[in-house]
Structure 1
Amino acid sequence: MSFSSEVKAELAKNISSARHCRIAELSGMMSMVADVWYRNGSLFKLCITTERSIIAKTMAALIKVLFDIRMECSVKRTGSNSRIYRMVLDQQQEIERMMQTLKLSPDFGISQNGVAKVSCQDMTVNRMVVQQQCCKRAFIKGVFMTSGSVSDPKKGYHLEIVCNNEDRAGMIGKIMAELDIESRVIARKKYSVCYIKDGTMIVDMLNIMGAHISLMNMENVRILKDISNNVNRRVNCEAANLNKTVSAAVRQIQDINYVIETRGITYLPDNLRSLAELRLEEPDASLKELGEMMNPPIGKSGVNHRLRKISEIAEDLRQKSYV
């Protein structure tokens, strides 16, 4: 089971006990996956279509508890591992009662002649449904359940809700903003997508929707990734420092050998000569270790100063050899 499926399975178990929140959640779900038919300007059929059984079960349970309507579900196989779940209601009074309660209505006139199909995504969701903070959370949970997904945090951080039109994506984004969730809307082919890329915001989103187990699982992954990244940064830093130390030691030995080959070790002053001999004996030693081996011991800065002097002498000899 994918992480997204785990989140939805957890959310399906946590249905609010408050009627207003149940209405907000079902309104969010219906506004994304339901269609209604009008005949001569009057409602006569409502159809809910989804590819996930857990969505069909959750919506049927909410409809039963809110309206005492039992929705029959038909299943159509569309592939080896894919199915379409369809629930239909053809009782005009019950449909009208449901739409009024969920505050879903078309924001354009319906023809009084013939049959017209209207997607609930093209309808207006009355803001009365999401007046309270708890109802905003329930509504967002509903739209995520039906049209959202979240990537496996082991692979990356991405949560999105796919909408049929920009207005619906914008509305969802505004409600998220009222819950202190920063999101963006982009066009993807014929859809508008409201998405979140920030890991912290996705954690907040899971908390808002009530997916607390999934939240903890994601936080565990984030902690492990942070630890791994910190270890990698430290290893890379230490490797870079080691390479720098080795490169410096190689240059120092080359300079010392050049002085010896051209003028002899006695060309160096006594204080530099003893360090040069020690560097040749201990090519892998750090500056601090070289300083501790000297008699008397000297500090790291003193070692660095003397080696720089040797390099200057070697460079001066090189310059004279070119003249």
Structure 2
Amino acid sequence: MALLDDVKSELAALEDEKADARKAQVTAMIRFAGGFTHNAQKQIVMLATFDSLIAAQWLRDNIEDLYSLDAKLISSTRTTPKGTHQYHVVKVERGAVNLAVATGLIDRNKAVRGLPVKIVQGKIAQVRAAWRGAFMARGILSDLGKNPYMEIICPSNEAAMALAGLARRLGITAKPRQLSKSYRVTLTDPDSIERMLNSMGAMRSARDWTGKRSDGETRSKANRLANFDDANMRRSAKAAAEACDKVRKAFELFDAAGVDVPDNLRAAGQLRLEHGDASLEELGRLAEPPISKDAIAGRIRRLLQLAEKTAKSRS
């Protein structure tokens, strides 16, 4: 539980997120932590319930900042057979309908049971933010033992399917499943869990979680560091870092020279910058639509060749 709280605290403290990403996170938190309902006066209100106070505070603050609406935070304590628990409810009364439309959770006067199309088909930053919001709302993270897992409790099958689809866009396999009357999306592979933590932005927590791996796995990693495979990994990582540096300088040159870069080459270069540790095969899977590693390598190569030509013409 302490690790789970640490992850949510780290995610809530992230800064410099663009408005589109924060809006995607707000939408996911509302979708997975509650939604829109009617009060006693038959008016539509937004209610989202959290176990984590810091998650509730993040949602309240961002609803007020992004949508200029008054959001209330109400905390209460409940006694259950398992002990006493605190719950934190974010509530929006005035303007709840506008919030539902703005987030896309109501589309053409119909409630969206999964996630809005603008997130499902959105930018990678929005995809990451949606996963971040779902995790802050209903995420579970086990301690790393014999059966490690990360899980999101979902409000509907459609929400579970949408979340699994977003994971695929990140190159991560997450399985939707039904457990009794609840729907869940689950990751059980330790490497996938580590990648998802990093994708959401919880890099410190990912390192902490990885550090708790079993002694056997730790020894296995130590062996890999000493063998030829690890040498290949180091060379690949170095090559990726060098490619990132070249692409970054190329974009700076294009901006200075006012060069019109083809969309497919620009997108390939942007993927290289956004996923500095990813292999070419992983970059190909992240492309929209997905392409082969040879194709993504070719586009990055042509981008750098265009930079060379631009530099020569300016000299």
The 4+ residue runs of structure 1 with deviation greater than 4 A are 106-109, 228-231
Q: In the alignment, what sits opposite 2:118?
A: 128
Q: In the alignment, what sits opposite 1:214?
A: 205
**Aligned partner of 1:169 among 160, 175, 179:** 160
Q: In the alignment, what sits opposite 1:68?
A: 68
Q: In structure 2, give the amino acid aligned to 1:2.
A: A
1:1-323 paired onto structure 2 within 5 Å: 2-38=2-38, 44-79=44-79, 81-91=84-94, 94-105=95-106, 123-130=113-120, 131-154=122-145, 156-222=147-213, 224-228=215-219
User: Is the contact made by 1:107 and 1:124 (CA closer than 8 Å) also made in structure 2?
Assistant: no
> How has the CA–CA distance of structure 1 residues 6 and 230 changed in structure 2, closer, same or farther, with 3 Å as cutoff?
closer
Secondary structure of residue in 2 paired with 1:123: coil
Q: Hey, what's the Cα distance between the residues in 1 that align with 2:84 and 2:220?
A: 37
User: Is the contact made by 1:48 and 1:87 (CA closer than 8 Å) also made in structure 2?
Assistant: yes
> How has the CA–CA distance of structure 1 residues 36 and 51 changed in structure 2, closer, same or farther, with 3 Å as cutoff?
same
> How has the CA–CA distance of structure 1 residues 159 and 107 changed in structure 2, closer, same or farther, with 3 Å as cutoff?
farther
Where does the alignment leave 5 or more consecutive residues of structure 1 unmatched?
110-119, 232-323
> How has the CA–CA distance of structure 1 residues 34 and 107 changed in structure 2, closer, same or farther, with 3 Å as cutoff?
farther
Q: Hey, what's the Cα distance between the residues in 1 that align with 2:58 and 2:179?
A: 28
Where does the alignment leave 5 or more consecutive residues of structure 2 unmatched?
223-315
Q: Alpha-carbon deviations, 1:271-310, whole Å to 9, x = none?
A: xxxxxxxxxxxxxxxxxxxxxxxxxxxxxxxxxxxxxxxx
Q: In structure 1, give the amino acid aligned to 2:90.
A: M
TM-score (norm 2): 0.62
Q: In the alignment, what sits opposite 2:240?
A: none
Secondary structure of residue in 2 paired with 1:55: helix
Q: Hey, what's the Cα distance between the residues in 1 that align with 2:60 and 2:6?
A: 20
> How has the CA–CA distance of structure 1 residues 15 and 156 changed in structure 2, closer, same or farther, with 3 Å as cutoff?
farther
Deviation at 1:47, TM superposition (A): 1.7
> How has the CA–CA distance of structure 1 residues 123 and 38 changed in structure 2, closer, same or farther, with 3 Å as cutoff?
farther
Q: Hey, what's the Cα distance between the residues in 1 that align with 2:8 and 2:33?
A: 16
Deviation at 1:216, TM superposition (A): 1.2
User: Is the contact made by 1:56 and 1:85 (CA closer than 8 Å) also made in structure 2?
Assistant: yes
Q: In the alignment, what sits opposite 1:308?
A: none
Q: Alpha-carbon deviations, 1:231-286, whole Å to 9, x = none?
A: 9xxxxxxxxxxxxxxxxxxxxxxxxxxxxxxxxxxxxxxxxxxxxxxxxxxxxxxx
Deviation at 1:225, TM superposition (A): 4.2
Q: In structure 1, give the amino acid aligned to 2:148.
A: Y
Deviation at 1:228, TM superposition (A): 4.8
Tell me the matched-pair count. 216
> How has the CA–CA distance of structure 1 residues 81 and 107 changed in structure 2, closer, same or farther, with 3 Å as cutoff?
farther
User: Is the contact made by 1:103 and 1:129 (CA closer than 8 Å) also made in structure 2?
Assistant: no
In our comparison, the structure showing a higher alpha carbon Rg is 1
Q: Hey, what's the Cα distance between the residues in 1 that align with 2:43 and 2:117?
A: 22
Identity of aligned residues (%): 19
> How has the CA–CA distance of structure 1 residues 78 and 107 changed in structure 2, closer, same or farther, with 3 Å as cutoff?
farther
TM-score (norm 1): 0.61
Q: Hey, what's the Cα distance between the residues in 2 that align with 1:10 and 1:225?
A: 29
User: Is the contact made by 2:114 and 2:160 (CA closer than 8 Å) also made in structure 1?
Assistant: no
